[in-house]
Amino acid sequence: MHWFCDTPSLQQIDPAWPRLPNTAIALLQKGKTDFELQGAEQVLAQQMNDNRLADFAAGRACAHLAQKQLGLSAQPILRDERAPVWPKGQCGSISHAKDWALAAVSTSLRGIGVDVETQGRVKQKLYRALFRPEEVNAFPSCPDAAPSVAFAAKEAGYKAIYPIGGAYVGFQEASVELDWQSRSFRIRYHGNHKASKALESGVGYWRLIDSYVIVFFAIQD
What digits encode the pLDDT tens for the residues 163-178? 998 888 999 999 999 9
Instruction: Please report, for the chain, the start and end positions of each structural domain, with discontinuous segments joined by +.
Output: 2-114, 122-202
Cα angle at 103 between 166 and 216, to 5 degrees? Answer: 75
Residue 13: the pLDDT is 58
- Rounded-to-integer distance, Cα 113 and Cα 128, Å: 24
> Region 217-221: what's the mean pLDDT?
91
SS3 70: coil
- Rounded-to-integer distance, Cα 160 and Cα 190, Å: 17
pTM: 0.91
For 192, half-sphere exposure in the C-beta direction (CA atoms, 13 angstrom radius) is 0
What digits encode the pLDDT tens for the residues 173-216? 999 999 999 999 999 999 999 999 999 999 999 998 888 999 99
CATH number of the 2-114 domain: 3.90.470
Confidence of residue 45 (pLDDT cuts 50, 70, 90): confident
